[in-house]
C-alpha cells in the first residue's frame, strides 16, 4: 500500500522524474537520432525513398533545402542535392533519370522572375510525361510563397519558420495527406480515441505540445477566434474557458445571474454550442479541445465534454471548486468525493487526467512544503483511481515573490516524490506553465516574463507547455495574442533546445529540493498517522483529507476566515522560497508546525 510507504519513510529518493522526458527541440536544421525517427514507423515512406532538391533558376540560396534533405536522410530517405542556380533543363534530366518521389524547389530572390520559371518547369515536365506520380514542395520567402501557391502541384510550403515536428510531418504519410500540415496532437480532429495520447506526445513528433486557454465573452467571437487559432497552427490543444455561470450552473440555468454572463469566458448554455466550438477547430492543424470541469455536477460535465468536444483530457481538482475557494457551495468532503468519482470515470474510459490542484495552495501563499505534499496526494489519488496517463501540472512563478532557483527546486521536489508512483500502468506527463500573478500589465515586459518563465521550466523537460498569454494580467487573450504568445514560446524552444545549460544541477536548487522532499514526507507521514484509525488509506479517504484541511495540515494564509480551513498558517518568502514562520517571523520546520495540529482535526 503506497500510504504505508509514506508512513514508513519509503518514498523513493530516486530522481527518475526525467524518465520518458521529451526534450524541447525546435531547430530547423537539427537532425534527430535514428532511434527517434524509428518511433514514427507507423508512417509509410515514399514509393522509392528518393528526394531531390535544390535552388531553381538563378537562386543561390540553398541552406534551407540542403538541411531539409539532411533531415530526410536521417529519416531513411535517399536524397540528391542539386545545388544552387539549377536551370530547368537540369531538373528535367535528373527527374527523368532517377524518377524521384519528391521534388523540393527553393527560390528566395525577388519573385518577379519566379512565375516564368515555374511555368517552364511544370510545362516541360508535362510535355515529357514526367509531371505525375510524384510530389512537389516549395521553399522561399513570403512573396515567393505567394507566387508558388498559385500552382496546385505544390503540396507543402516552407518559409524557414517551421519547427522540427512540422518538418518531420512532411516526410510521412499523414503529413503528405494534409499537404505537409500534420496536426500536432490529433491525427484526425474528429477522433475520440485517447489510447494514443501518451504515444503521440512521447513519439518525438511533439516536443513539447503547446496548450493555450481561450474564451471570449461572446459565443460568436469565441467561434471565430478558435477558427483563427486553428488556422495558425500554433496551438496543439485549445483549452476552452466557460464563464462562471456555465461552470457553476450549466445544468441549473434557472440559478444563473444574467448580469454575470460572459464573466470569465464563453457564455455556454447548451451542448449544441460546444459542438459549434468543436467544429470551429476542425481546420488548420486540427487542435484538440479540452475544458475544465464544472464546479457543480462534475460527472455530467465530464460526460457532456466527452460527448461534444472529445475532451482531450479530464481536468479535475481534489480539494477545490468547493467552499474552500468559493467556486461552489460543496463542502470539502463532498467535493473530494465527487471529484474522485469523476477522476475514476475518466480513468475507466482510458482518458488522461490532470488534477488541477497543488498550485491552488501556492496561489494562496501556502508554504512550499504544503504544495509539494499536495502534489503527491493528487498523483497518488490519480493512480489509485485507475488513471493510466496522468498530466502533472507545474505552475511556475507562484507565489509571485518566489525566486527562479527556489521555484525550480520546488518543481523538482514535486517530481521526485511522484516518480516513485510510476510504473507500467501509471505514467506522468509533465505540463509546465507560467504563473498568472507573475505577469506585468505592460505587454512588452510581460512578453519577456513569458519567455523567461518558459526557459526556466524547460529544466524539467516537459511534454506539454500550458502557454499563458502575456496579456492575462490585463485582459483575456484575443486570438492574435494567443497566437503571438505561442510564437514567443516556440522562439524559446528554438533557441534553447537540447543544448541549453541545465539549471536543475545548481547546488542551491538541489539543496532546496532535498529539503522540500524531506519536509513534505514529514507532513505526509504525520497526516497518515493522524487518521490511521479512521481509514486504511487516509491519503485517499475524503473524510480524512477534509479533516486534514480543517486541522491545518494543509493550510494557506489566504484561507483565513474560510469555513473549511483555519488559515492560521503564516508564511513569508525566505531566500526566494516560501516557508512557514512562527509569530515572531522565525522559520518553522514541519515537525514543529504540525505538532499539536491533530486535536483540531479529530471529528467532533
The per-residue pLDDT for 494 is 84
Residues 6+ apart with CB under 8 A from 260: 243, 244, 245
pLDDT more than 90, % of the chain: 74
* CA 27 – CA 106 distance, rounded (Å): 19
CATH of the domain at 58: 3.40.50.280
Confidence of residue 85 (pLDDT cuts 50, 70, 90): very high
The per-residue pLDDT for 498 is 62
pTM of this structure: 0.78
The verdict on residue 271 lying in a domain is no
The verdict on residue 50 lying in a domain is yes
Find the helix packing angle between 542-551 and 507-530, rounded to 10°.
Answer: 110
CB 59 within 8 Å of CB 109: yes
* CA 272 – CA 375 distance, rounded (Å): 36
In this predicted model, what pLDDT tens digit does every residue of 472-512 receive, in sequence order? 999 999 999 999 999 999 999 988 866 789 999 999 999 99
In this predicted model, what pLDDT tens digit does every residue of 220-275 receive, in sequence order? 999 999 999 999 989 999 999 999 899 889 999 999 999 888 888 999 999 999 99
Cα dihedral 506→508→514→519 (10° resolution): -150
The per-residue pLDDT for 195 is 46
* 284-298, 373-387, 390-404: segment of lowest average pLDDT: 284-298
Indicate whether 204 pLDDT > 50: no
**Nearest CA-CA partner of 205 in 46, 396, 38:** 38
The verdict on residue 96 lying in a domain is yes
* 74-83, 114-123, 425-434, 442-451: segment of lowest average pLDDT: 74-83
HSE (side-chain half, CA atoms, 13 Å) at 577: 25
**Nearest CA-CA partner of 486 in 229, 183, 142:** 229
Indicate whether 45 pLDDT > 80: no
The verdict on residue 62 lying in a domain is yes
Indicate whether 183 pLDDT > 70: no
Tally of domains in the chain: 1
The verdict on residue 321 lying in a domain is no
* CA 400 – CA 317 distance, rounded (Å): 22
Residue 565, phi then psi, degrees to nearest 5: -145, 155
Indicate whether 10 pLDDT > 50: no
Confidence of residue 315 (pLDDT cuts 50, 70, 90): very high
Domain of 164 in residue numbering reads as 34-177
The per-residue pLDDT for 160 is 86
Confidence of residue 285 (pLDDT cuts 50, 70, 90): confident
The verdict on residue 81 lying in a domain is yes
* CA 154 – CA 103 distance, rounded (Å): 10
Confidence of residue 206 (pLDDT cuts 50, 70, 90): very low
The per-residue pLDDT for 179 is 39
The verdict on residue 173 lying in a domain is yes
The verdict on residue 508 lying in a domain is no
Amino acid at each position: 500500500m503506497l500510504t504505508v510507504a509514506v508512513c514508513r519513510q519509503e518514498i523513493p529518493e530516486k530522481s527518475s522524474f526525467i524518465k520518458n522526458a521529451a526534450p524541447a527541440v525546435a531547430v530547423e536544421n537539427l537532425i534527430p537520432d535514428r532511434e527517434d525517427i524509428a518511433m514514427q514507423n507507423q508512417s509509410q515512406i515514399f514509393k522509392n525513398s528518393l528526394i531531390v532538391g535544390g535552388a531553381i533558376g538563378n537562386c543561390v540560396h540553398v541552406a534551407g533545402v540542403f538541411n531539409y534533405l539532411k533531415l530526410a536522410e536521417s529519416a531513411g530517405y535517399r536524397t540528391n542535392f542539386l545545388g544552387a542556380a539549377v536551370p530547368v533543363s537540369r531538373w528535367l534530366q535528373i527527374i527523368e533519370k532517377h524518377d524521384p518521389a519528391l521534388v523540393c524547389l527553393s527560390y528566395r530572390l525577388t519573385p518577379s522572375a519566379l512565375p516564368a520559371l515555374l511555368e517552364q518547369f511544370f510545362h516541360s515536365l508535362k510535355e515529357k510525361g514526367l509531371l505525375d506520380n510524384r510530389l512537389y514542395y516549395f521553399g522561399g520567402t513570403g512573396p515567393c510563397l505567394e507566387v508558388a501557391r498559385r500552382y496546385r502541384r505544390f503540396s507543402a510550403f516552407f518559409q524557414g519558420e517551421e519547427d522540427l515536428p512540422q518538418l518531420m510531418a512532411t516526410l510521412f504519410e499523414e503529413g503528405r495527406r494534409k499537404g505537409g500540415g500534420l496536426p500536432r496532437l490529433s491525427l484526425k480532429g474528429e477522433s475520440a480515441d485517447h489510447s494514443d495520447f501518451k504515444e503521440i506526445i512521447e513519439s518525438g513528433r511533439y516536443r513539447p505540445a503547446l496548450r493555450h486557454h481561450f474564451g471570449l465573452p461572446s459565443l460568436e467571437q469565441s467561434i471565430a477566434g478558435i477558427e483563427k487559432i486553428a488556422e495558425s497552427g500554433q496551438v496543439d490543444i485549445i483549452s476552452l474557458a466557460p464563464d462562471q455561470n456555465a461552470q457553476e450552473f450549466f445544468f441549473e440555468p434557472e440559478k444563473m445571474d444574467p448580469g454575470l454572463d460572459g464573466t470569465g469566458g464563453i457564455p455556454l448554455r447548451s451542448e449544441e454550442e460546444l459542438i459549434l466550438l468543436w467544429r470551429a477547430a476542425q481546420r488548420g492543424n486540427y487542435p484538440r479541445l479540452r475544458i475544465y470541469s464544472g464546479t457543480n455536477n462534475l460527472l455530467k460535465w465530464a460526460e457532456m465534454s466527452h460527448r461534444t468536444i472529445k475532451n482531450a483530457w479530464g481536468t479535475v481538482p481534489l480539494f477545490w471548486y468547493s467552499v474552500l475557494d468559493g467556486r461552489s457551495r460543496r463542502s470539502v468532503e463532498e467535493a473530494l468525493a465527487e471529484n474522485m468519482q469523476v477522476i475514476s470515470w475518466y480513468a475507466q474510459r482510458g482518458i488522461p487526467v490532470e488534477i488541477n490542484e497543488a498550485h491552488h495552495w501556492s496561489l494562496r501563499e501556502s508554504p512550499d512544503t504544503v504544495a509539494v505534499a499536495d502534489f503527491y496526494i493528487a498523483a497518488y489519488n490519480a493512480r489509485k483511481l485507475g488513471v493510466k496517463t496522468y498530466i502533472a501540472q507545474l505552475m511556475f512563478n507562484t507565489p509571485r515573490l518566489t525566486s527562479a532557483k527556489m521555484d525550480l527546486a520546488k518543481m523538482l521536489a514535486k517530481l521526485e516524490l511522484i516518480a516513485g508512483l510510476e510504473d507500467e500502468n501509471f505514467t506522468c506527463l509533465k505540463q509546465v506553465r507560467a504563473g498568472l500573478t507573475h505577469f506585468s500589465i505592460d505587454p512588452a515586459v510581460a512578453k519577456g516574463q513569458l519567455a523567461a518563465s518558459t526557459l526556466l521550466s524547460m529544466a524539467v523537460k516537459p511534454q506539454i507547455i500550458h502557454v499563458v498569454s502575456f496579456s492575462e494580467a490585463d485582459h483575456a487573450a484575443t486570438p492574435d495574442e494567443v497566437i503571438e504568445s505561442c510564437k514567443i514560446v516556440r522562439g524559446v524552444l528554438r533557441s534553447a533546445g537540447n543544448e541549453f545549460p541545465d539549471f536543475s544541477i545548481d547546488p542551491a536548487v538541489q539543496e532546496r529540493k532535498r529539503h522540500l522532499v524531506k519536509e513534505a514526507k514529514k507532513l505526509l507521514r504525520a497526516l497518515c498517522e493522524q487518521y490511521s484509525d479512521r481509514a486504511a488509506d487516509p491519503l485517499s479517504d475524503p473524510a480524512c483529507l477534509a479533516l486534514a484541511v480543517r486541522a491545518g495540515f494543509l493550510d494557506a494564509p489566504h484561507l483565513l476566515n474560510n469555513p473549511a480551513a483555519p488559515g492560521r498558517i503564516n508564511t513569508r518568502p525566505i531566500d526566494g522560497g516560501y516557508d512557514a514562520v512562527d509569530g515572531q517571523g522565525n522559520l518553522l520546520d514541519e515537525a514543529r508546525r504540525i505538532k499539536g495540529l491533530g486535536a483540531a482535526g479529530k471529528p467532533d
